[in-house]
Amino acid sequence: MAEVVDLVHYPVKGCGGTSVSDALLTEAGLAHDRTFMVTGEDGVYRTQRRHPRLALIRPTVSADGTGLRLDAEGTTVSIEVTSEAPRRAVDLFGDAFQGIDQGDEVAGWLSEVLGSPSRLVRVPPEHGRIADGWIPGPSGYADSSAVHLLSRGSLALLNRRMAERGAPPLPMSRFRPNIVVDGADWAAEPHAEDRARRVRIGGTELGYAKLAVRCAVTLVDQEAGARSGKEPLRTLAGYRRAASGGVVFGTKFSVLRPGKLSVGDQVVVDEWGEAER
């Protein structure tokens, strides 16, 4: 059977991820996932596309979400998360939202690590963002839908094709999924997740939103915090090009039924469809 082999949340958008053995799945994705976002002083979101050093920052958020620690290159900052500070206007992909500024201490630390004036904001309780897709749903500061799922079978095929071009294999972390699946049935078939429309994991349920369009973030070595060559986009362009012109790899889902997820949970597809390409 297909099963969950890794669960990863990314408390600060664009920063490093943390693998966990179990997690609460909320309506907006894994608990604490993309709850925080780094912006410029103008409120525009920061991303690894322009600031690859974000990958060097490793966040740790307390279980109740009231404490946040950031580590990078031997330096650390810890803050008490506030929900009471004034809201700031933030820009995410050209859309206007609000964020709760987390203060000058963490802003100064981020500015030094990234080499550019930065602020840290938190999703406010009234956020109310609905990401579009085949099945729309709530989302925090994620690029689009709440949950990104990817199979090891899909990555294995990509690495085989890259090897044919003389390129070294890439780790799963290049693609920053939330849920990694593997198994002896459908999950072993590369890109079978493209066709999954309703998925049950433990007591939770996911609904298909869209394919994950890949961008220059996949070129960033997540350990070095720097761009590293033209892969995987060069190879993906040869066999995963979408009608829109971009390349797709992995699938985005909305949360239909929240609950608890654990590594080892079976992944059951209740409804299949045709892959959108």
Say how far apart CA 170 and CA 144 lie, in whole Å. 24
Burial of 98 (0-12, 13-18, 19+ CB in 10 A): middle
Say how far apart CA 261 and CA 148 lie, in whole Å. 14
Whether 178 shows a pLDDT value over 80: the answer reads yes
Residue pLDDT, tens place only, 184-230: 788 889 999 999 999 999 999 999 999 999 999 999 999 999 999 99
Site of tokens 């294995």: 156
Whether 253 shows a pLDDT value over 90: the answer reads yes
Strand partners, 187: none
Whether 179 shows a pLDDT value over 80: the answer reads yes
Say how far apart CA 113 and CA 108 lie, in whole Å. 9
CA-based nearest residue to 268, from 170, 192, 202, 195 = 202
Say how far apart CA 6 and CA 267 lie, in whole Å. 12
Burial of 142 (0-12, 13-18, 19+ CB in 10 A): buried
Q: What are 73's two structure tokens?
A: 């290159």
CA-based nearest residue to 219, from 170, 177, 180, 178 = 170
Say how far apart CA 131 and CA 149 lie, in whole Å. 16
When pLDDT is cut at 50, 70 and 90, the band that residue 84 belongs to is confident
Residue pLDDT, tens place only, 165-177: 999 999 999 999 9
Q: Please report the sign of the dihedral spanned by the C-alpha atoms of residue 179, residue 180, residue 183, residue 186.
A: positive
Residue pLDDT, tens place only, 14-53: 999 999 999 999 999 999 999 999 999 999 999 999 999 9
Residue pLDDT, tens place only, 261-273: 999 999 999 999 9
Say how far apart CA 7 and CA 33 lie, in whole Å. 11
Q: Report CA-CA distances (Å) from 227 to 45, 158, 202, 214.
A: 19, 19, 37, 15
Q: Report CA-CA distances (Å) from 52 to 15, 109, 119, 217, 222.
A: 9, 16, 16, 8, 8
Please report, for the chain, how many H helices and E strands are present, in that order: 3, 23
pLDDT at residue 275, as a whole number = 92
pLDDT at residue 244, as a whole number = 81
DSSP, collapsed to helix, strand or coil, labels residue 208 as strand
Q: What are 61's two structure tokens?
A: 């958020």
Say how far apart CA 170 and CA 77 lie, in whole Å. 31
Q: Do 68 and 58 form a contact (C-beta atoms < 8 A)?
A: no
Say how far apart CA 160 and CA 188 lie, in whole Å. 14
Say how far apart CA 145 and CA 132 lie, in whole Å. 7
